[in-house]
Amino acid sequence: MTAKSVATTPFPDQKPGTSGLRKKVAVFRQPRYVENFVQAIFDAIPERAGATLVIGGDGRFFNREVVQTALKMAAANGFARVLVGRGGLLSTPAASCVIRKYGAIGGLVLSASHNPGGPDGDFGIKFNTANGGPAPEDVTAAIFARTLALTEYRIVEAPDLDLDAVGETCIGAMAVTVLDPVADYLHLMRTLVDFEAIRALFAGGFRMRFDAMSAVTGPYAHAILEGELGAAPGTVVNGTPQPDFGGHHPDPNPVHCHDLYDLMLSPDAPDFGAASDGDGDRNMIVAPGLFVTPSDSLAILAAHAHRAPGYAAGLAGVARSMPTSRAVDRVAASLGIPAYETPTGWKFFGSLLDAGLITLCGEESAGTGSDHVREKDGLWAVLLWLNVLAATGTPARDLVHAHWARFGRDYYTRHDYEEIDSDAAKALMSGLRAKLADLPGQRFGDLTVATADDFRYVDPVDGSVTAEQGVRIGFAEDARVVYRLSGTGTAGATLRVYVERFEPATGRLDRPVAEVLASAVAAACAIADIAALTGRDAPSVVT
Ligand code: G6P
Ligand code: ZN
């Protein structure tokens, strides 16, 4: 079996975004497109000779083909060993776990996360480094630079590998281990959460529904919730991964996971509802009659994490992405621990986690995680919630209300304007930036602008600077609006407008969210002139 070099020419559009390279499947299926990007990644790992690489994906359409290509290219590029999940599957947090556990130099995570799959859907390739986390900006910049300079890629000619049987095999001199995708992850979960307590909870009749959205967490949830923890059969729904996610948009929010949401808001609601996304890193938590915003979920987990064995010693600190509500900051203040504010994108948590500055972190975009891996982790968040519910003996809804009664409530909503014209989106953001200095003091309805800036992040560990991460408007009435453009879309641009308003613990904590935020939403539209500049008089998705 010999490695060969194949001549190629660069594609101009292989710049990784918030979370790796994400494009329509049709783009990835162009001849040499995958090969070029994978070669650029390998070229950005100078120490790859003799090293171990992890490969796995969320099982979406094209996953298996790309796994086979990547394996043959890894063999031709000098890797000594590849660990690949059975069936080419690894949830994103499980990939992170496997990279760390086996000392791999990094991993290829094949996923477009919560974006739809299938021949007309999206695909993605992300490179994670040896810490198990998404490659930092300097590495993705090097990969992009390399994509523009490629003249050849290297691959061995070999038959496709049988990915469906766990065991050891090889391609030429490179060893290949096909792993059970669940085993290492399950092992890690056992060290973090109290399986005994959760088992007793289910044995006592606690009922739950977990919606795997026909995506990668099905096998994990079946094995852990129903298998290990004794949840009733049928607790996990949509638990068989499908290449097109059953035609759905595997994003765990009330809009795309409406079956679960509707059930939880109905009189038949079980005690607890949860879901995860295409690649298993996002989560949705719903109590009976109450959707728990990701921002609140992070804050509640931070307040109760010490009840789980993995966090019994307390938290070193917490972090949230800038558009995430400030609810977790309030918990951190009461615990006397630092709270960090990072740009959107999980990779920014990596250096804080590696340096031991934080233990928990999360984002408004349904991501919650801890120092156990370097990705957000949907099922872990669900297990930690179950641990907290078991340890406190408090129903989920009451737990949320008790949290607000102690810390106050950050009413929160996000308005997305999807697939708007890219130039219009850029014009809107630059228009906002141009008027930042004039905004303070201006009144919009019952709100007065107190602060206006463009978020600029200085990493406290390595001093690296990331500018232009979103426009923040703070109001004197303790409300906030944030504008940024999504970095994960694959068509046009998506404007995200994040709106929040704080109600102190002594205030009214159970009002309709839309009513509380109406004036801040109106201010957000007026300040950015959204309707005129985008041609949209309403957002496409409200969560
Ligand atoms: C991915 C990243 C997250 C990020 C999210 C939203 O899921 O892993 O860290 O928060 O995308 O990104 P976007 O740029 O679309 O708002
Ligand atoms: Zn995801």
Out of 386, 407, 428, a domain closes at: 407
Q: What is the pLDDT of residue 491?
A: 75
Q: Are residues 234 and 257 in the same domain?
A: yes
Is any ligand 1 atom within 6 A of the Cβ of residue 412? no
For a pocket test of ligand 1, which of 92, 249, 282, 363 has the largest count of ligand atoms closer than 8 A to its C-beta? Answer: 363
* Same-domain status, 97 and 232: no
Of 347, 376, 407, which marks where a domain is finished? 407
Rounded to the nearest angstrom, the distance between the alpha carbon of 184 and the centre of ligand 1 is: 26
- CB neighbour class for 393 (10 Å; exposed up to 12, middle 13-18, buried from 19): exposed
Q: Is the CB of 252 under 6 A from ligand 1?
A: no
Using a 6 Å cutoff on CB, does residue 490 contact ligand 1? no
**Cα–Cα distance, 406 to 214 (Å, whole number):** 38
Cβ(343) to ligand 1 under 6 A? Answer: no
Say yes or no: 67 and 128 in one domain. yes
- Structure ipTM: 0.96
Q: Which helix (H) or strand (E) holds 458?
A: strand 457-458
Residues 398 and 413 in one domain: no
Together in a domain, 399 and 481: no
Cα gap 302→370, rounded to integer Å: 10
Q: Which helix or strand (DSSP H or E) is residue 144 part of?
A: helix 137-147
Domain shared by 332 and 253, yes or no? yes
Q: Is 422 a catalytic residue?
A: no
Residue 22 pairs in a beta bridge with: 124
Segment (H or E) for 43: helix 33-43
Q: Is 37 found in the same domain as 177?
A: yes
Tell me: do 366 and 342 sit in the same domain.
Answer: yes
15, 21, 23, 28 alpha-carbon torsion, rounded to 10°: 100
Q: Are residues 169 and 216 in the same domain?
A: no
Sign of CA dihedral 504, 507, 513, 516: negative
- Is residue 213 domain-shared with residue 333, that is, in the same domain? yes
List the CATH number of the domain containing 459: 3.30.310.50
pLDDT along the chain (543 residues), means of 10: 93 90 96 98 96 98 98 98 98 98 98 94 96 92 97 97 96 97 98 98 98 97 98 97 94 93 97 97 98 97 98 98 98 98 93 97 97 98 98 98 98 96 96 97 97 97 94 98 88 94 96 97 96 94 91
Q: Return the amino acid letter for 196.
A: E
From 113, 276, 325, 370, active-site residue:
113
- Same domain for 164 and 86: yes
Question: How far is the centre of ligand 2, averaged over its atoms, from the C-alpha of 377 (Å)?
Answer: 9
Among 407, 437, 455, give the residue marking a domain's end: 407
Structural domain for 320, as ranges: 185-407
Taking the CA of residue 489 as reference, the ligand 1 atom at the shortest distance is 15
Contact 100, 185 (CB under 8 A): no
Q: How far is CA 379 from each of CA 228, 245, 280, 320, 455, rounded to the nearest angstrom?
A: 14, 18, 7, 19, 31
- At 136 the pLDDT is 87
Widest pairwise Cα distance in the chain: 72
Q: Are 159 and 72 in contact (CB under 8 A)?
A: no
pLDDT of residue 157: 95
Q: What is the C-alpha end-to-end distance of the chain, expressed in Å?
A: 53
Q: What is the CATH number of the domain that holds 104?
A: 3.40.120.10
Do 144 and 16 meet the contact criterion of CB atoms below 8 Å apart? yes
Residues 321, 344: Cα–Cα separation, whole Å: 5
Partnered with residue 286 across adjacent β-strands are 273, 291
pLDDT (0 to 100) of residue 26:
97
284 and 387 in a common domain = yes
The count of structural domains within the chain is 3
